Protein backbone atom coordinates (compact mmCIF):
# COMPACT_ATOMS: atom_id res chain seq x y z
CA UNK A 1 0.00 0.00 0.00
CA UNK A 2 2.72 2.42 1.05
CA UNK A 3 4.70 1.57 -2.04
CA UNK A 4 1.74 2.35 -4.30
CA UNK A 5 1.19 5.62 -2.51
CA UNK A 6 4.81 6.55 -2.97
CA UNK A 7 4.63 5.61 -6.64
CA UNK A 8 1.48 7.62 -7.05
CA UNK A 9 3.05 10.59 -5.30
CA UNK A 10 6.18 10.42 -7.43
CA UNK A 11 4.08 10.22 -10.56
CA UNK A 12 1.87 13.21 -9.73
CA UNK A 13 4.90 15.16 -8.59
CA UNK A 14 6.62 14.44 -11.93
CA UNK A 15 3.67 15.73 -13.89
CA UNK A 16 3.58 18.81 -11.73
CA UNK A 17 7.28 19.41 -12.25
CA UNK A 18 6.83 20.06 -15.94
CA UNK A 19 4.60 23.04 -15.24
CA UNK A 20 6.48 24.60 -12.35
CA UNK A 21 9.75 23.18 -11.18
CA UNK A 22 10.32 25.05 -7.95
CA UNK A 23 6.83 24.69 -6.52
CA UNK A 24 7.39 20.97 -6.22
CA UNK A 25 10.48 21.49 -4.05
CA UNK A 26 8.25 23.46 -1.67
CA UNK A 27 6.52 20.24 -0.60
CA UNK A 28 9.63 18.90 1.11
CA UNK A 29 11.73 22.10 1.46
CA UNK A 30 9.06 24.63 2.55
CA UNK A 31 11.33 26.94 4.56
CA UNK A 32 13.92 27.18 1.80
CA UNK A 33 11.20 27.71 -0.79
CA UNK A 34 9.61 30.58 1.18
CA UNK A 35 12.96 32.28 1.58
CA UNK A 36 13.71 31.83 -2.09
CA UNK A 37 10.34 33.28 -2.97
CA UNK A 38 11.29 36.52 -1.23
CA UNK A 39 14.84 36.59 -2.67
CA UNK A 40 16.26 38.83 -5.34
CA UNK A 41 16.90 35.69 -7.41
CA UNK A 42 13.17 35.02 -7.60
CA UNK A 43 12.62 38.71 -8.29
CA UNK A 44 15.34 39.09 -10.91
CA UNK A 45 12.96 39.61 -13.82
CA UNK A 46 11.34 42.81 -15.13
CA UNK A 47 7.91 42.29 -13.57
CA UNK A 48 9.19 41.80 -10.03
CA UNK A 49 11.94 44.39 -9.90
CA UNK A 50 11.19 48.03 -10.65
CA UNK A 51 14.87 48.93 -11.02
CA UNK A 52 15.43 46.16 -13.54
CA UNK A 53 12.30 47.23 -15.40
CA UNK A 54 13.42 50.86 -15.54
CA UNK A 55 16.87 49.82 -16.82
CA UNK A 56 15.39 47.63 -19.51
CA UNK A 57 12.87 50.29 -20.57
CA UNK A 58 15.71 52.77 -21.15
CA UNK A 59 18.07 50.21 -22.67
CA UNK A 60 18.53 50.48 -26.45
CA UNK A 61 16.80 47.55 -28.23
CA UNK A 62 18.09 45.57 -31.18
CA UNK A 63 17.34 42.27 -32.93
CA UNK A 64 18.96 40.26 -30.11
CA UNK A 65 16.14 41.37 -27.82
CA UNK A 66 16.27 40.72 -24.09
CA UNK A 67 19.90 39.65 -23.62
CA UNK A 68 19.57 40.04 -19.85
CA UNK A 69 17.84 36.62 -19.75
CA UNK A 70 21.22 34.88 -19.63
CA UNK A 71 21.51 35.86 -15.96
CA UNK A 72 18.16 37.38 -14.98
CA UNK A 73 15.79 34.68 -16.27
CA UNK A 74 17.71 31.66 -17.59
CA UNK A 75 14.92 29.27 -16.53
CA UNK A 76 12.62 30.68 -19.20
CA UNK A 77 14.09 28.95 -22.24
CA UNK A 78 12.05 30.97 -24.71
CA UNK A 79 13.32 34.20 -23.27
CA UNK A 80 16.86 32.83 -23.10
CA UNK A 81 16.96 31.55 -26.67
CA UNK A 82 14.95 34.21 -28.48
CA UNK A 83 15.26 37.29 -26.28
CA UNK A 84 11.51 37.50 -25.76
CA UNK A 85 10.04 39.52 -22.90
CA UNK A 86 6.91 37.85 -21.57
CA UNK A 87 4.90 37.97 -18.37
CA UNK A 88 4.58 34.19 -17.89
CA UNK A 89 4.66 31.78 -14.93
CA UNK A 90 8.40 31.13 -15.04
CA UNK A 91 9.30 34.79 -15.26
CA UNK A 92 7.11 35.69 -12.33
CA UNK A 93 7.84 32.74 -10.06
CA UNK A 94 11.18 31.19 -10.90
CA UNK A 95 13.29 33.11 -13.43
CA UNK A 96 16.35 31.53 -11.74
CA UNK A 97 14.79 28.30 -10.51
CA UNK A 98 15.87 25.86 -7.80
CA UNK A 99 16.69 23.30 -10.48
CA UNK A 100 18.69 25.84 -12.50
CA UNK A 101 21.11 26.57 -9.64
CA UNK A 102 21.32 22.99 -8.41
CA UNK A 103 22.22 21.61 -11.83
CA UNK A 104 25.05 24.04 -12.67
CA UNK A 105 27.75 21.53 -13.49
CA UNK A 106 30.42 24.02 -14.42
CA UNK A 107 31.10 27.61 -15.38
CA UNK A 108 32.79 28.56 -18.65
CA UNK A 109 34.81 31.75 -18.61
CA UNK A 110 33.96 34.30 -21.28
CA UNK A 111 35.13 37.75 -22.32
CA UNK A 112 31.78 39.57 -22.07
CA UNK A 113 30.43 37.35 -19.31
CA UNK A 114 30.75 33.78 -18.08
CA UNK A 115 28.32 31.00 -18.99
CA UNK A 116 26.64 28.38 -16.79
CA UNK A 117 26.94 24.81 -18.02
CA UNK A 118 23.98 22.74 -16.92
CA UNK A 119 24.08 19.00 -16.25
CA UNK A 120 20.68 18.83 -17.98
CA UNK A 121 19.46 16.51 -15.21
CA UNK A 122 15.99 17.21 -13.84
CA UNK A 123 16.19 14.99 -10.78
CA UNK A 124 19.79 14.93 -9.75
CA UNK A 125 21.06 17.90 -7.80
CA UNK A 126 24.45 19.18 -6.76
CA UNK A 127 24.99 20.62 -3.33
CA UNK A 128 27.70 21.11 -0.74
CA UNK A 129 27.87 19.18 2.52
CA UNK A 130 31.41 18.67 3.80
CA UNK A 131 30.62 15.53 5.78
CA UNK A 132 29.36 13.82 2.62
CA UNK A 133 31.77 15.30 0.08
CA UNK A 134 33.48 12.02 -0.80
CA UNK A 135 30.20 10.23 -1.29
CA UNK A 136 28.69 10.24 -4.78
CA UNK A 137 25.05 10.39 -5.81
CA UNK A 138 22.98 9.61 -2.77
CA UNK A 139 19.75 7.81 -3.59
CA UNK A 140 16.75 7.18 -1.40
CA UNK A 141 16.91 4.37 1.17
CA UNK A 142 14.62 3.48 4.03
CA UNK A 143 15.65 1.39 6.96
CA UNK A 144 13.22 -0.38 9.23
CA UNK A 145 13.97 -1.29 12.79
CA UNK A 146 11.78 -2.50 15.67
CA UNK A 147 10.15 -5.00 13.33
CA UNK A 148 9.18 -2.28 10.90
CA UNK A 149 7.56 0.00 13.50
CA UNK A 150 10.17 2.73 13.19
CA UNK A 151 11.22 3.82 9.75
CA UNK A 152 14.16 6.11 9.10
CA UNK A 153 14.89 7.35 5.63
CA UNK A 154 18.10 8.49 4.07
CA UNK A 155 18.40 10.93 1.20
CA UNK A 156 15.45 12.04 -0.92
CA UNK A 157 12.60 10.00 -2.43
CA UNK A 158 12.24 12.55 -5.23
CA UNK A 159 15.77 13.11 -6.45
CA UNK A 160 19.38 12.02 -6.24
CA UNK A 161 22.03 14.22 -4.69
CA UNK A 162 25.59 14.66 -5.88
CA UNK A 163 27.90 15.98 -3.17
CA UNK A 164 31.07 15.86 -5.24
CA UNK A 165 30.97 19.10 -7.29
CA UNK A 166 33.74 21.43 -6.09
CA UNK A 167 31.94 24.51 -7.50
CA UNK A 168 29.41 24.27 -4.65
CA UNK A 169 32.15 24.28 -2.02
CA UNK A 170 34.26 27.21 -3.25
CA UNK A 171 31.48 29.52 -4.48
CA UNK A 172 32.29 29.14 -8.18
CA UNK A 173 28.65 28.11 -8.74
CA UNK A 174 27.79 31.82 -8.40
CA UNK A 175 30.34 32.96 -10.99
CA UNK A 176 28.38 32.09 -14.13
CA UNK A 177 26.36 35.24 -13.46
CA UNK A 178 28.31 37.20 -10.85
CA UNK A 179 31.80 37.36 -12.30
CA UNK A 180 31.54 40.25 -14.76
CA UNK A 181 28.87 41.80 -17.00
CA UNK A 182 30.65 43.70 -19.75
CA UNK A 183 28.82 46.06 -22.06
CA UNK A 184 29.57 46.31 -25.79
CA UNK A 185 32.59 48.50 -25.10
CA UNK A 186 34.10 45.75 -22.95
CA UNK A 187 33.40 47.70 -19.80
CA UNK A 188 32.21 45.90 -16.63
CA UNK A 189 28.99 47.45 -15.38
CA UNK A 190 27.81 45.28 -12.48
CA UNK A 191 29.61 44.12 -9.38
CA UNK A 192 33.35 44.43 -9.67
CA UNK A 193 36.39 42.30 -9.04
CA UNK A 194 34.45 39.23 -7.90
CA UNK A 195 36.80 36.28 -7.64
CA UNK A 196 37.22 32.88 -6.10
CA UNK A 197 40.33 32.50 -4.00
CA UNK A 198 40.89 29.37 -2.01
CA UNK A 199 42.88 31.33 0.55
CA UNK A 200 39.76 33.18 1.66
CA UNK A 201 38.12 31.83 4.76
CA UNK A 202 34.65 32.77 3.51
CA UNK A 203 33.01 32.11 0.15
CA UNK A 204 30.09 33.70 -1.71
CA UNK A 205 27.94 31.01 -0.11
CA UNK A 206 29.07 31.29 3.52
CA UNK A 207 28.57 35.08 3.49
CA UNK A 208 25.40 35.37 1.38
CA UNK A 209 23.72 32.06 2.25
CA UNK A 210 24.60 31.69 5.93
CA UNK A 211 23.21 28.81 7.98
CA UNK A 212 20.07 29.99 9.77
CA UNK A 213 17.59 28.21 12.06
CA UNK A 214 14.98 25.88 10.56
CA UNK A 215 15.10 22.49 8.91
CA UNK A 216 16.32 22.15 5.34
CA UNK A 217 13.82 19.39 4.64
CA UNK A 218 10.62 18.14 6.30
CA UNK A 219 11.53 14.45 6.12
CA UNK A 220 14.83 14.46 8.05
CA UNK A 221 14.75 17.40 10.48
CA UNK A 222 17.91 19.47 10.68
CA UNK A 223 18.57 22.40 13.01
CA UNK A 224 19.74 24.79 10.32
CA UNK A 225 19.75 25.33 6.57
CA UNK A 226 21.46 27.62 4.07
CA UNK A 227 19.53 30.92 3.83
CA UNK A 228 18.00 31.12 0.36
CA UNK A 229 16.59 34.65 0.78
CA UNK A 230 20.20 35.74 0.05
CA UNK A 231 21.79 38.01 2.64
CA UNK A 232 22.76 41.32 1.08
CA UNK A 233 21.17 44.62 0.24
CA UNK A 234 17.58 43.38 0.31
CA UNK A 235 17.77 41.04 3.31
CA UNK A 236 19.84 40.73 6.48
CA UNK A 237 21.82 43.84 5.57
CA UNK A 238 22.67 44.59 9.22
CA UNK A 239 24.32 41.18 9.52
CA UNK A 240 26.52 41.85 6.49
CA UNK A 241 28.39 44.60 8.39
CA UNK A 242 30.49 42.04 10.19
CA UNK A 243 32.44 41.53 7.00
CA UNK A 244 33.47 45.19 6.91
CA UNK A 245 35.88 46.64 9.50
CA UNK A 246 36.58 50.23 10.52
CA UNK A 247 39.96 51.43 11.70
CA UNK A 248 40.15 54.96 13.12
CA UNK A 249 43.46 56.82 13.47
CA UNK A 250 44.10 60.36 14.70
CA UNK A 251 46.53 62.38 12.59
CA UNK A 252 47.95 65.92 12.43
CA UNK A 253 44.97 67.55 10.76
CA UNK A 254 42.15 65.44 12.17
CA UNK A 255 41.52 61.72 11.81
CA UNK A 256 41.14 59.02 9.20
CA UNK A 257 38.78 56.07 8.86
CA UNK A 258 39.93 52.96 7.03
CA UNK A 259 37.05 50.90 5.67
CA UNK A 260 38.34 47.35 5.31
CA UNK A 261 36.45 45.00 2.99
CA UNK A 262 36.73 41.31 3.92
CA UNK A 263 34.67 40.06 0.97
CA UNK A 264 36.04 38.86 -2.36
CA UNK A 265 34.62 41.66 -4.50
CA UNK A 266 34.45 45.45 -4.53
CA UNK A 267 31.62 46.94 -2.45
CA UNK A 268 28.74 48.94 -3.99
CA UNK A 269 29.93 48.29 -7.58
CA UNK A 270 26.52 47.86 -9.27
CA UNK A 271 25.78 50.74 -11.66
CA UNK A 272 23.97 53.72 -10.04
CA UNK A 273 24.33 52.17 -6.58
CA UNK A 274 25.78 54.19 -3.70
CA UNK A 275 27.38 53.38 -0.36
CA UNK A 276 27.56 56.05 2.34
CA UNK A 277 29.61 56.56 5.49
CA UNK A 278 28.08 58.88 8.06
CA UNK A 279 30.23 60.23 10.88
CA UNK A 280 28.99 61.98 14.00
CA UNK A 281 30.98 63.32 16.94
CA UNK A 282 29.38 63.46 20.39
CA UNK A 283 31.09 66.13 22.48
CA UNK A 284 29.41 66.76 25.82
CA UNK A 285 25.90 67.79 24.88
CA UNK A 286 26.95 68.72 21.35
CA UNK A 287 26.31 66.52 18.30
CA UNK A 288 28.49 67.29 15.31
CA UNK A 289 27.46 65.72 12.00
CA UNK A 290 30.31 65.53 9.51
CA UNK A 291 29.88 65.54 5.75
CA UNK A 292 28.97 61.96 4.68
CA UNK A 293 31.43 60.17 2.40
CA UNK A 294 29.87 58.62 -0.72
CA UNK A 295 31.19 55.41 -2.30
CA UNK A 296 30.19 55.32 -5.93
CA UNK A 297 31.40 54.82 -9.45
CA UNK A 298 30.20 57.28 -12.04
CA UNK A 299 30.16 55.75 -15.49
CA UNK A 300 30.95 57.84 -18.53
CA UNK A 301 31.28 57.81 -22.28
CA UNK A 302 34.21 59.82 -23.57
CA UNK A 303 34.38 61.73 -20.30
CA UNK A 304 30.68 62.57 -20.01
CA UNK A 305 28.32 60.88 -17.55
CA UNK A 306 26.48 58.00 -19.28
CA UNK A 307 24.23 55.03 -18.70
CA UNK A 308 25.94 51.63 -18.17
CA UNK A 309 25.30 50.27 -21.67
CA UNK A 310 26.99 53.30 -23.28
CA UNK A 311 29.90 53.69 -20.85
CA UNK A 312 33.52 53.22 -21.87
CA UNK A 313 35.11 54.63 -18.73
CA UNK A 314 34.52 56.32 -15.40
CA UNK A 315 34.75 59.90 -14.24
CA UNK A 316 34.75 59.06 -10.56
CA UNK A 317 35.45 55.91 -8.60
CA UNK A 318 35.33 56.02 -4.81
CA UNK A 319 34.29 52.38 -4.28
CA UNK A 320 35.74 50.24 -1.54
CA UNK A 321 38.01 47.68 -3.20
CA UNK A 322 40.26 45.93 -0.64
CA UNK A 323 40.16 48.99 1.60
CA UNK A 324 39.52 52.70 1.44
CA UNK A 325 40.89 55.46 3.65
CA UNK A 326 38.84 58.58 4.25
CA UNK A 327 40.35 61.69 5.82
CA UNK A 328 38.40 64.08 8.04
CA UNK A 329 39.60 67.55 8.91
CA UNK A 330 38.12 67.51 12.40
CA UNK A 331 40.22 67.16 15.53
CA UNK A 332 38.99 64.52 17.95
CA UNK A 333 39.23 65.68 21.58
CA UNK A 334 39.58 63.68 24.76
CA UNK A 335 36.21 62.20 25.82
CA UNK A 336 34.73 62.60 22.33
CA UNK A 337 32.67 59.72 20.96
CA UNK A 338 32.76 59.07 17.23
CA UNK A 339 29.82 57.17 15.72
CA UNK A 340 30.32 55.68 12.27
CA UNK A 341 27.34 54.40 10.26
CA UNK A 342 27.91 52.62 6.96
CA UNK A 343 24.97 51.96 4.65
CA UNK A 344 23.92 51.46 1.08
CA UNK A 345 21.19 52.75 -1.23
CA UNK A 346 19.93 50.69 -4.16
CA UNK A 347 20.19 53.85 -6.25
CA UNK A 348 21.83 57.21 -5.77
CA UNK A 349 19.42 60.18 -5.95
CA UNK A 350 20.82 60.97 -9.38
CA UNK A 351 20.43 57.35 -10.47
CA UNK A 352 16.80 57.30 -9.37
CA UNK A 353 16.20 60.46 -11.39
CA UNK A 354 17.91 59.00 -14.47
CA UNK A 355 15.59 55.99 -14.27
CA UNK A 356 12.45 58.04 -13.52
CA UNK A 357 12.18 56.32 -10.13
CA UNK A 358 12.48 59.46 -8.00
CA UNK A 359 9.02 58.91 -6.49
CA UNK A 360 9.85 55.41 -5.32
CA UNK A 361 11.26 55.99 -1.82
CA UNK A 362 12.36 52.34 -1.44
CA UNK A 363 15.10 52.67 -4.04
CA UNK A 364 16.84 55.57 -2.30
CA UNK A 365 16.25 54.35 1.28
CA UNK A 366 19.46 54.21 3.35
CA UNK A 367 20.01 50.58 4.45
CA UNK A 368 22.35 50.25 7.40
CA UNK A 369 25.15 47.71 7.20
CA UNK A 370 27.16 48.64 10.27
CA UNK A 371 27.21 51.06 13.21
CA UNK A 372 30.22 51.37 15.48
CA UNK A 373 31.19 53.74 18.32
CA UNK A 374 34.71 54.83 19.16
CA UNK A 375 35.51 56.56 22.50
CA UNK A 376 38.51 58.81 22.91
C1 LIG B 1 26.32 38.11 -17.12
C2 LIG B 1 25.13 38.16 -16.30
C3 LIG B 1 24.21 39.35 -16.40
C4 LIG B 1 23.64 39.89 -17.53
C5 LIG B 1 23.79 39.42 -18.99
C6 LIG B 1 22.83 41.01 -17.08
N7 LIG B 1 22.91 41.14 -15.72
FE8 LIG B 1 21.96 42.51 -14.58
N9 LIG B 1 22.80 41.72 -12.90
C10 LIG B 1 23.60 40.60 -12.88
C11 LIG B 1 23.98 40.32 -11.52
C12 LIG B 1 24.86 39.16 -11.06
C13 LIG B 1 23.38 41.32 -10.72
C14 LIG B 1 23.49 41.50 -9.22
C15 LIG B 1 24.63 42.41 -8.97
C16 LIG B 1 24.48 43.28 -7.81
O17 LIG B 1 23.45 43.29 -7.13
O18 LIG B 1 25.46 44.00 -7.59
C19 LIG B 1 22.65 42.18 -11.63
C20 LIG B 1 21.94 43.30 -11.22
C21 LIG B 1 21.24 44.10 -12.07
C22 LIG B 1 20.49 45.26 -11.64
C23 LIG B 1 20.34 45.77 -10.22
C24 LIG B 1 19.08 45.19 -9.66
C25 LIG B 1 18.70 45.72 -8.32
O26 LIG B 1 17.75 45.16 -7.71
O27 LIG B 1 19.29 46.68 -7.84
C28 LIG B 1 19.92 45.80 -12.77
C29 LIG B 1 19.03 47.01 -12.83
C30 LIG B 1 20.32 44.99 -13.89
N31 LIG B 1 21.14 43.97 -13.44
C32 LIG B 1 19.92 45.21 -15.20
C33 LIG B 1 20.29 44.42 -16.28
C34 LIG B 1 19.80 44.59 -17.63
C35 LIG B 1 18.78 45.62 -18.06
C36 LIG B 1 20.41 43.64 -18.39
C37 LIG B 1 20.27 43.38 -19.88
C38 LIG B 1 20.43 44.52 -20.73
C39 LIG B 1 21.30 42.87 -17.52
N40 LIG B 1 21.18 43.36 -16.24
C41 LIG B 1 22.09 41.82 -17.93
C42 LIG B 1 24.01 39.86 -13.95
C43 LIG B 1 23.71 40.13 -15.26
C1 LIG C 1 9.46 14.22 -1.75
C2 LIG C 1 10.31 15.11 -1.02
C3 LIG C 1 11.32 15.98 -1.76
C4 LIG C 1 11.10 16.78 -2.86
C5 LIG C 1 9.82 16.96 -3.65
C6 LIG C 1 12.35 17.48 -3.08
N7 LIG C 1 13.30 17.08 -2.17
FE8 LIG C 1 15.18 17.75 -2.04
N9 LIG C 1 15.55 16.52 -0.47
C10 LIG C 1 14.60 15.69 0.12
C11 LIG C 1 15.21 15.01 1.26
C12 LIG C 1 14.53 14.02 2.19
C13 LIG C 1 16.53 15.47 1.35
C14 LIG C 1 17.53 15.17 2.44
C15 LIG C 1 18.58 14.25 2.07
C16 LIG C 1 19.52 13.94 3.22
O17 LIG C 1 19.55 14.68 4.20
O18 LIG C 1 20.22 12.95 3.09
C19 LIG C 1 16.70 16.41 0.24
C20 LIG C 1 17.88 17.07 -0.03
C21 LIG C 1 18.07 18.01 -1.02
C22 LIG C 1 19.29 18.69 -1.30
C23 LIG C 1 20.62 18.44 -0.60
C24 LIG C 1 20.56 18.79 0.84
C25 LIG C 1 21.76 18.36 1.61
O26 LIG C 1 22.47 19.22 2.11
O27 LIG C 1 21.96 17.14 1.77
C28 LIG C 1 19.06 19.55 -2.34
C29 LIG C 1 20.05 20.49 -2.98
C30 LIG C 1 17.67 19.40 -2.69
N31 LIG C 1 17.10 18.46 -1.88
C32 LIG C 1 17.05 20.12 -3.70
C33 LIG C 1 15.74 19.91 -4.11
C34 LIG C 1 15.12 20.63 -5.19
C35 LIG C 1 15.80 21.67 -6.04
C36 LIG C 1 13.84 20.14 -5.31
C37 LIG C 1 12.78 20.55 -6.32
C38 LIG C 1 13.12 20.37 -7.72
C39 LIG C 1 13.67 19.13 -4.29
N40 LIG C 1 14.85 19.02 -3.58
C41 LIG C 1 12.51 18.40 -4.08
C42 LIG C 1 13.30 15.54 -0.28
C43 LIG C 1 12.71 16.17 -1.34
C1 LIG D 1 21.62 32.54 -13.08
C2 LIG D 1 22.43 33.65 -12.64
C3 LIG D 1 22.76 33.74 -11.17
C4 LIG D 1 23.37 32.81 -10.36
C5 LIG D 1 23.83 31.42 -10.72
C6 LIG D 1 23.51 33.45 -9.06
N7 LIG D 1 23.00 34.73 -9.09
FE8 LIG D 1 22.94 36.05 -7.57
N9 LIG D 1 21.93 37.37 -8.72
C10 LIG D 1 21.65 37.18 -10.06
C11 LIG D 1 20.94 38.34 -10.55
C12 LIG D 1 20.45 38.53 -11.97
C13 LIG D 1 20.80 39.21 -9.46
C14 LIG D 1 20.11 40.56 -9.47
C15 LIG D 1 18.69 40.35 -9.23
C16 LIG D 1 17.93 41.64 -9.28
O17 LIG D 1 17.56 42.05 -10.37
O18 LIG D 1 17.78 42.25 -8.22
C19 LIG D 1 21.43 38.57 -8.32
C20 LIG D 1 21.52 39.14 -7.07
C21 LIG D 1 22.33 38.64 -6.06
C22 LIG D 1 22.67 39.34 -4.85
C23 LIG D 1 22.22 40.74 -4.46
C24 LIG D 1 20.98 40.59 -3.69
C25 LIG D 1 20.92 41.39 -2.49
O26 LIG D 1 19.89 41.29 -1.82
O27 LIG D 1 21.86 42.11 -2.17
C28 LIG D 1 23.48 38.53 -4.12
C29 LIG D 1 24.11 38.83 -2.77
C30 LIG D 1 23.64 37.31 -4.88
N31 LIG D 1 22.93 37.41 -6.05
C32 LIG D 1 24.40 36.23 -4.47
C33 LIG D 1 24.52 35.04 -5.18
C34 LIG D 1 25.23 33.89 -4.71
C35 LIG D 1 25.92 33.78 -3.36
C36 LIG D 1 25.16 32.94 -5.69
C37 LIG D 1 25.74 31.56 -5.70
C38 LIG D 1 25.24 30.65 -4.69
C39 LIG D 1 24.38 33.51 -6.78
N40 LIG D 1 24.01 34.78 -6.43
C41 LIG D 1 24.11 32.86 -7.97
C42 LIG D 1 21.97 36.11 -10.83
C43 LIG D 1 22.54 34.94 -10.37
C1 LIG E 1 21.25 31.04 -6.58
C2 LIG E 1 21.37 29.61 -6.62
C3 LIG E 1 20.40 28.78 -5.81
C4 LIG E 1 19.03 28.77 -5.90
C5 LIG E 1 18.15 29.62 -6.78
C6 LIG E 1 18.59 27.75 -5.00
N7 LIG E 1 19.65 27.18 -4.35
FE8 LIG E 1 19.56 25.70 -2.95
N9 LIG E 1 21.54 25.93 -2.57
C10 LIG E 1 22.42 26.68 -3.34
C11 LIG E 1 23.76 26.49 -2.84
C12 LIG E 1 25.02 27.14 -3.38
C13 LIG E 1 23.66 25.60 -1.73
C14 LIG E 1 24.79 25.04 -0.86
C15 LIG E 1 24.78 25.73 0.46
C16 LIG E 1 25.84 25.25 1.41
O17 LIG E 1 27.00 25.18 1.05
O18 LIG E 1 25.48 24.97 2.55
C19 LIG E 1 22.26 25.27 -1.60
C20 LIG E 1 21.74 24.41 -0.63
C21 LIG E 1 20.45 23.86 -0.70
C22 LIG E 1 19.96 22.83 0.17
C23 LIG E 1 20.73 22.21 1.31
C24 LIG E 1 20.61 23.15 2.48
C25 LIG E 1 21.78 23.16 3.41
O26 LIG E 1 21.64 23.77 4.47
O27 LIG E 1 22.83 22.62 3.07
C28 LIG E 1 18.67 22.55 -0.20
C29 LIG E 1 17.75 21.54 0.42
C30 LIG E 1 18.37 23.45 -1.30
N31 LIG E 1 19.46 24.22 -1.57
C32 LIG E 1 17.15 23.49 -1.94
C33 LIG E 1 16.78 24.52 -2.80
C34 LIG E 1 15.41 24.78 -3.21
C35 LIG E 1 14.24 23.92 -2.82
C36 LIG E 1 15.44 25.89 -3.99
C37 LIG E 1 14.28 26.63 -4.61
C38 LIG E 1 13.19 26.99 -3.73
C39 LIG E 1 16.82 26.32 -4.08
N40 LIG E 1 17.60 25.47 -3.34
C41 LIG E 1 17.26 27.40 -4.83
C42 LIG E 1 22.08 27.48 -4.41
C43 LIG E 1 20.78 27.78 -4.82
C1 LIG F 1 33.34 37.86 3.58
C2 LIG F 1 31.96 37.92 3.16
C3 LIG F 1 31.63 38.03 1.70
C4 LIG F 1 32.04 37.20 0.67
C5 LIG F 1 33.04 36.07 0.74
C6 LIG F 1 31.33 37.63 -0.49
N7 LIG F 1 30.52 38.71 -0.21
FE8 LIG F 1 29.24 39.62 -1.46
N9 LIG F 1 28.96 41.09 -0.09
C10 LIG F 1 29.46 41.10 1.19
C11 LIG F 1 29.16 42.36 1.82
C12 LIG F 1 29.55 42.77 3.23
C13 LIG F 1 28.44 43.12 0.87
C14 LIG F 1 27.94 44.55 1.05
C15 LIG F 1 26.61 44.55 1.59
C16 LIG F 1 25.65 44.67 0.52
O17 LIG F 1 25.82 45.53 -0.36
O18 LIG F 1 24.71 43.87 0.55
C19 LIG F 1 28.30 42.28 -0.31
C20 LIG F 1 27.59 42.64 -1.46
C21 LIG F 1 27.35 41.77 -2.51
C22 LIG F 1 26.46 42.04 -3.61
C23 LIG F 1 25.68 43.31 -3.82
C24 LIG F 1 26.65 44.28 -4.39
C25 LIG F 1 26.06 45.54 -4.92
O26 LIG F 1 26.47 46.62 -4.54
O27 LIG F 1 25.18 45.46 -5.75
C28 LIG F 1 26.49 40.94 -4.43
C29 LIG F 1 25.74 40.74 -5.72
C30 LIG F 1 27.42 39.99 -3.85
N31 LIG F 1 27.92 40.52 -2.69
C32 LIG F 1 27.75 38.75 -4.38
C33 LIG F 1 28.83 37.99 -3.97
C34 LIG F 1 29.42 36.89 -4.72
C35 LIG F 1 28.93 36.37 -6.04
C36 LIG F 1 30.49 36.43 -3.98
C37 LIG F 1 31.50 35.37 -4.35
C38 LIG F 1 32.35 35.73 -5.51
C39 LIG F 1 30.53 37.22 -2.76
N40 LIG F 1 29.53 38.15 -2.81
C41 LIG F 1 31.42 37.02 -1.74
C42 LIG F 1 30.14 40.07 1.80
C43 LIG F 1 30.70 39.00 1.12
Mind listing the pLDDT tens digit for each residue in 120-177?
998 999 999 988 887 767 666 655 554 545 445 567 788 999 999 999 999 999 999 9
Substitution candidate for ligand 4 out of 125, 226, 227, 232 with most atoms within 8 A of CB: 226
Residue 234 has pLDDT above 60, yes or no: yes
Q: How far apart are CA 19 and CA 173, in angstroms?
A: 25
pLDDT computed for residue 12 by the predictor: 39
Residue 362 CB: number of other CB atoms within 10 A? 12
Residue nearest (by alpha carbon) to ligand 5 atom 21: 232
Residue nearest (by alpha carbon) to ligand 1 atom 32: 52
pLDDT computed for residue 153 by the predictor: 55
Q: How far apart are CA 318 and CA 295, in angstroms?
A: 5
The alpha carbon of 227 and the centre of ligand 3 are apart by a number of angstroms equal to 13
Substitution candidate for ligand 5 out of 109, 172, 240, 263 with most atoms within 8 A of CB: 263
Range from 100-104, 152-156, 187-191, 325-329 carrying the lowest mean pLDDT? 152-156
pLDDT tens, residue by residue, 79-93: 999 999 989 999 999
pLDDT computed for residue 200 by the predictor: 77
pLDDT class of 295 with cuts at 50, 70, 90: very high
Contacts (Cβ under 8 Å, ≥6 apart) of 82? 65
| Mean pLDDT, rounded, for 190-212 | 87
Residue 10 has pLDDT above 50, yes or no: no
**Ligand 2 pocket, Cβ-based, cut-off 6 angstroms:** 13, 21, 24-25, 27-29, 98-99, 102, 125, 127, 129, 138, 154-159, 161, 216-217, 219-220
pLDDT tens, residue by residue, 310-321: 999 999 999 999
Contacts (Cβ under 8 Å, ≥6 apart) of 208? 230, 231, 232
pLDDT class of 4 with cuts at 50, 70, 90: very low
Is there an atom of ligand 1 within 6 Å of 41 CB?
A: no
pLDDT class of 190 with cuts at 50, 70, 90: confident
The answer to whether residues 342 and 290 touch, using CB atoms and an 8 Å cutoff, is no
Q: Looking at ligand 3, which atom is closest to the CA of residue 173?
A: 37
Amino acid sequence: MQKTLLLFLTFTISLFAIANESKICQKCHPIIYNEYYDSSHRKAYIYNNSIHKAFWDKHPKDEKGYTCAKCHSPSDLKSLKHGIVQENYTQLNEPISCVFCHTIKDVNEGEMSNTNISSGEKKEFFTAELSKKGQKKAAFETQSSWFGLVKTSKSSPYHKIDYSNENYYNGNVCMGCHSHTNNEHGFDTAMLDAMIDKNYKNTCVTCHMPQVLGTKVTINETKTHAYHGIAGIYHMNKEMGKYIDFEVNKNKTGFSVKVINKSNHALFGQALREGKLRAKILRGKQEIDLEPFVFTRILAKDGKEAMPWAANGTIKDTLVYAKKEINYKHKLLKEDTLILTLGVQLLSKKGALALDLQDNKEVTRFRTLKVQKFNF
